[in-house]
A = this chain, B = another copy of it.
Amino acid sequence: MTQNIYDNPAFFAGYSRLPRSIEGLAGAPEWPALRALLPPLSGRKVVDLGCGYGWFCRWARPQGAAQVLGLDVSEKMLARAGAMTSDPGVTYARVDLECLELPPASFDVAYSSLVLHYVGNLSGLMTTVHRALVPGAHLVLSAEHPILTAPTRPGWSIGSDGRKTWPVDQYLVEGRRCTDWIGSGVIKQHRTIGTYLNLLIGIGFTISRVEEWRPTPDQIAAQPTLAEELERPMFLLIAASRS
């Protein structure tokens, strides 16, 4: 199964202090770009793969979503998610996405935010998701960008000329990466953009949009530290439809 580091007490405590944990969607700078990829949710059945605290699930309902199913492997996160809503249109379930089962043709929208780079068997998961979607349904996802996940020792470098760079190695050597985000020993799966896209196309999705997220000038003005995110992309956003 996927490493369940979010149930590690130290990791969970650290993650809980991130802006996106405290402020929800408003604390995630890529959210406006991700939201722009979503279809209208009115009357739609939505599944959120790796829902965490359930911010997206709770946001989707006032947008008109008929039902939202939030799935996550973390007991701690689901406990918090469940405590934040009494809406009968939102359901949470604890599952390992590596062995997810869903009824066929039962959702109109599948959504996943910053989770798929933890999943080893992405092909299996996406095959399940494709089958669980109705024809014409939408898939909207984000993952850590491969430039971020590739390096054997990820981090910024300042050259003797003062130039700030993100040194890349092993970009074309896909697979497991063990990094020190929040706690130590977080296991991620490094995949190229091509691998993400070809996997989806091969399963029967049609790619409709690919964003390598960048902060907007307004975001940088409001939060100047975001300027460094122009140097190398943090997030990969993909929109696709089920053929």
Residues of A within 8 A of B (CB): 147, 151-153, 157, 159, 161, 163-173, 192-194, 197-198, 201, 206-212, 214, 229-233
Q: Give the number of copies in the complex.
A: 2
Shortest C-beta distance, A54 to chain B (Å), equals 29
Q: Which residues of B contact A230 (CB under 8 A)?
A: 170-173
Shortest C-beta distance, A170 to chain B (Å), equals 6
Shortest C-beta distance, A24 to chain B (Å), equals 25
**Known: A197-B207, A209-B201, A212-B193. Is A169-B169 also a contact (CB below 8 A)?**
no
Is A207 in contact with B201, judged by CB distance below 8 angstroms? yes
9 contacts between A and B (CB under 8 A): A152-B163, A157-B159, A163-B169, A165-B167, A170-B231, A194-B211, A194-B212, A201-B207, A207-B207
Shortest C-beta distance, A8 to chain B (Å), equals 29
How far apart are the CA atoms of A201 and B240 in the complex, in Å?
11
Residue of B nearest to A228 (CB): B169
Is A159 in contact with B168, judged by CB distance below 8 angstroms? no
Shortest C-beta distance, A145 to chain B (Å), equals 9
Q: Which residues of B contact A171 (CB under 8 A)?
A: 147, 212, 230-233
Is A233 in contact with B172, judged by CB distance below 8 angstroms? yes
A157-B157, A193-B210 known; 13 other A-B pairs, CB under 8 Å?
A153-B161, A157-B159, A163-B167, A163-B169, A164-B169, A166-B167, A166-B169, A167-B167, A167-B168, A169-B231, A172-B230, A201-B207, A206-B206
